[in-house]
Amino acid sequence: MVLREATSDDFEELTALYRAQIGRRFCLWNEHYPTSDNIETDILLGNMFVAVSDGHIVGAVAIDTEDDLSDFDFWRFREDCCDLARLCVSPDHSGQGIGYRIMTDIDSLLRDRGYSAVHLLVGSENVPAYKTHMKAGYKKCGECNMYGSHYYACEKKL
């Protein structure tokens, strides 16, 4: 598996990957999120990364530029931070460690962009994702209610 920045050529496959998440156990997304506009904007800004195996996208993650998380008091790291969002793994590749690889491989790409820490939210009921983030070095630093759901707020020093 290789993690690389997404290109416009990846748009259709990425859209299908995100749509395949809807209705999966633990998934909080629906037909309204993430939108094709979210995906297109992430690609155009260079903020979408894809995990590729055997020529196919098997996972993705984005740097979220909306800054929805910065006002929370529980963050320990505030300087040169980014928020990760929209992490997903293909249903056909779930349980193979791809989410973990994405969450560890993204670190050097973020450091190269000048970030020194990462914030993210994980649905409090999504135990597999939460365990993956903890294994990848993230620490839970708070909880919040956003977007109609309850989340654990996690961060990691790069």
Q: What is the mean pLDDT of each run of 10 residues along the chain (158 residues)?
A: 98 96 84 91 97 97 82 91 94 94 96 95 94 97 93 96
108 CB-contact burial (10 Å; exposed 0-12 / middle 13-18 / buried 19+): exposed
Q: Quick one: pLDDT at residue 28?
A: 81
Q: Quick one: pLDDT at residue 14?
A: 96
Rg (CA), the chain: 14
- Rounded to the nearest 10 degrees, the angle between the axes of helix 36-44 and helix 11-19 is 140
Q: Quick one: pLDDT at residue 12?
A: 97
CATH number of the domain that residue 107 is part of: 3.40.630.30
Q: Based on the structure, what is the number of domains in the chain? A: 1
Report if pTM > 0.75.
yes
**Structural domain boundaries, residue 16:** 2-157
In whole angstroms, what separates CA 139 from the centre of its chain?
15
Q: Quick one: pLDDT at residue 25?
A: 85
